[in-house]
Amino acid sequence: CGVFGVIGVTDAANFVALGLHALQHRGQEAGGIVTHNHGTGFHSARRFGYVRDNFTSAKLMETLPGDLGIGHVRYSTAGSKGRTEIRDVQPFFGEFSMGGAAIAHNGNITNAEALRRELIDRGSIFQSGSDSECIIHLMARSLQRDIPERMKDALRRVEGAFSVVAMTRTKLIGVRDPLGVRPLVLGRIGDGWVLSSETCALDIIGAEFVREIEPGEMVVISPEKGVTSHRPFESRQSRFCIFEHVYFSRPDSILGGRSVYETRRQIGVELARENPVDADLVCPVPDSGTPAAIGFSQESGIPYAMGIIRNQYMGRTFIEPSEQIRNMGVRLKLNVNRALIAGKRVILVDDSVVRGTTSRKIKEMILDAGAKEVHFRIASPPTAWPCFYGVDTPKREKLLAATMSEEEMREHLAVDSLKFISLDGLYRAVGQGEGRDSNCPKYCDACFSGEYPVEPFDMIERGFKL
Ligand code: 5GP
Ligand code: SF4
Ligand code: MG
């Protein structure tokens, strides 16, 4: 998901809508905005679908007045069961003795089911099926006298990954979990302040990047007092999601001081060094494989070409939650550039192999177009484990790499060769020259290594085996 918030600007909702539009790649199912206006109080709107189809009409935006607002774009992940209902769409709102508060959460709470049971036993009335709603109920039970303190109480009970943007009547609040699994950045716009999942959403509104919110940090922002920093959690070695660098974040964002584009290009360079192959063309599977394909071509000297053309009007296939839509998605979204491919030995560069369904269809399309050989090069190690921290991966059984060796996957996809970047190569590409320090890894890489930095408590309860 994507989260965004702004304080100290006129018509905050317009800024939030633009910010969410820039974060749309982080979730396409639904979006919501809450604002606060001195005089008329809190206002909110939650809608299914794209930001641009909802939060652009003057009629809707007029219902969201105020100089303070937050928003959320959603896609459902491991914790969620079945179809999203509008009541699952964030931000969530709670009314407390000291006033209202709204929260928007990116990540996944790994002890949400246990918390939910406990809260329901003690009288909480849940409105949604979302793990994030626990935070509001935990805040309601806290005895602290202001909302930021109640949020600290609540978040100290929560485990897993969370980047949270919240608001009261007068304050904007941002928090990252102690491991800092999901991103969150601070920006400045005129006399106002911005919080955003990624820097690309600062750019769209002309805000200046100030810094990242640190793992385990809470910032409380008001126009009068500016930004105050709090440390509600015990400090730990941070474990930022390495997959944000590979796929999830936008290539024009800056993560941990590194350009995402440059990291992905470097992944392609590493990939070409680790797994060279003689061929005529390097083609990306657009758009997620593009920067790595550029790096692969530069390092190998094999010409880069757009062998697959993407229809710009389709979203990312994997974000659609149903299997059926995902299966249709490939052809609706991608087409082979026949004139270029016929008779050629083609290296296809993609970000990941998950179920293998996309990769298989792409390979068929390329062979139909007359390619002589197809070599897959993948910009991440084999995805053998599900993510429980906010990225949608299927159950372990559905992951190709969970049950097959590299050679078995190659046979299954029926390609001439299939190679993945090594975990060390990936760490080198994100700036860890020595590769992965297995005693103290600097990133979360659980979907590749199976080493979960936070126990996936709810999933283990449901029968998941580590
Ligand atoms: P596959 O061949 O595994 O079906 O799909 C791999 C391609 O689709 C990659 O380009 C990746 O971007 C995307 N993809 C499809 N499904 C998923 C998924 O569930 N999670 C992630 N992370 N990527 C997926
Ligand atoms: Fe990121 Fe993978 Fe860790 Fe999930 S399991 S947070 S996708 S690195
Ligand atoms: Mg892709």
* CATH numeric code, 264-433: 3.40.50.2020
The pLDDT score that the predictor gives to residue 315 is 57
Q: Which of 162, 242, 385 to mutate to test the pocket of ligand 2 (most atoms within 8 A of CB)?
A: 242
The pLDDT score that the predictor gives to residue 205 is 98
Instruction: List the domain boundaries for the chain.
Output: 2-238, 264-433
Distance 434 CA to ligand 3 centre (A): 28
- Among the bound ligands, name the one nearest to the CA of residue 239: 2
What residue ranges line ligand 1, CB within 6 angstroms?
A: 247, 285, 288, 317-318, 350-359, 392-394
Nearest alpha carbon, ligand 2 atom 6: 241
In eight-state DSSP terms, residue 185 is: E
Residues 6+ apart with CB under 8 A from 150: 96, 139, 142, 144
The pLDDT score that the predictor gives to residue 84 is 82
Q: Which of 354, 388, 393, 403 to mutate to test the pocket of ligand 1 (most atoms within 8 A of CB)?
A: 354
> What's the Cα-to-Cα distance from 442 to each of 109, 110, 212, 435, 439, rounded to whole Å?
21, 20, 17, 10, 10
Distance of CA 343 to the CA centre of its chain: 38
Distance 244 CA to ligand 2 centre (A): 8
Distance 170 CA to ligand 1 centre (A): 41
Which ipTM was obtained for this model? Answer: 0.92
The pLDDT score that the predictor gives to residue 332 is 78
**Please, are residues 195 and 213 in contact by the beta-carbon 8 Å criterion?**
yes
Q: Near ion ligand 3, which residues have CB within 5 Å?
A: 288
Is residue 283 part of the annotated active site? The answer reads no
Question: What residues are designated binding site?
Answer: 241, 288, 350-351, 387, 444, 447
Q: Which of 110, 239, 241, 442 to mutate to test the pocket of ligand 2 (most atoms within 8 A of CB)?
A: 241
Nearest alpha carbon, ligand 1 atom 17: 318
DSSP per-residue codes, 187-202: EEETTEEEEESSTHHH
Please check whether the two domains, 2-238 and 264-433, share a CATH topology.
no
In eight-state DSSP terms, residue 44 is: E
Q: Where are the alpha helices (DSSP H) in 323-394?
A: 323-333, 338-341, 357-368
Measured distance CA(3)–CA(23) in Å, rounded: 8
**Continuous segment of H or E residues that includes residue 7:** strand 2-7
The pLDDT score that the predictor gives to residue 313 is 77
431: left (phi over 0), alpha (psi -120 to 50) or beta: left
DSSP per-residue codes, 244-269: IIIIIS-TTSEETTEEHHHHHHHHHH
- Among the bound ligands, name the one nearest to the CA of residue 361: 1
Distance 284 CA to ligand 3 centre (A): 9
What residue ranges line ligand 2, CB within 6 angstroms?
A: 181, 241-243, 387, 389, 391, 444-447
Measured distance CA(436)–CA(424) in Å, rounded: 5
Q: Are strands 373-378 and 417-420 parallel, antiparallel or unpaired?
A: parallel
Candidate list 1, 134, 200, 283, residue with the active-site label: 1
**Please, are residues 19 and 6 in contact by the beta-carbon 8 Å criterion?**
yes
Read off the pTM: 0.95
> What's the Cα-to-Cα distance from 282 to each of 106, 254, 263, 299, 338, rounded to whole Å?
35, 26, 18, 11, 15
Distance 289 CA to ligand 3 centre (A): 6
**What CATH class does 2-238 carry?**
alpha beta
The pLDDT score that the predictor gives to residue 320 is 57
Burial 137-146 (b: 16+ CB within 10 A, else e): bbbbebeeee
Question: What residues are designated binding site for Mg(2+)?
Answer: 288, 350-351
Burial 325-350 (b: 16+ CB within 10 A, else e): ebeebbeebbebeeebbeebbbbbbb
Token representation of residue 340 = 């270029």
In eight-state DSSP terms, residue 278 is: -
Mark the ranges of the chain whose per-residue pLDDT is less than 50: 79, 317-318
Burial grade of 75 (CB within 10 A; 0-12, 13-18, 19 or more): buried
Distance of CA 115 to the CA centre of its chain: 24
Nearest alpha carbon, ligand 2 atom 2: 447
Tens digits of per-residue pLDDT, 3-40?
999 999 999 999 999 999 999 999 999 999 999 999 99
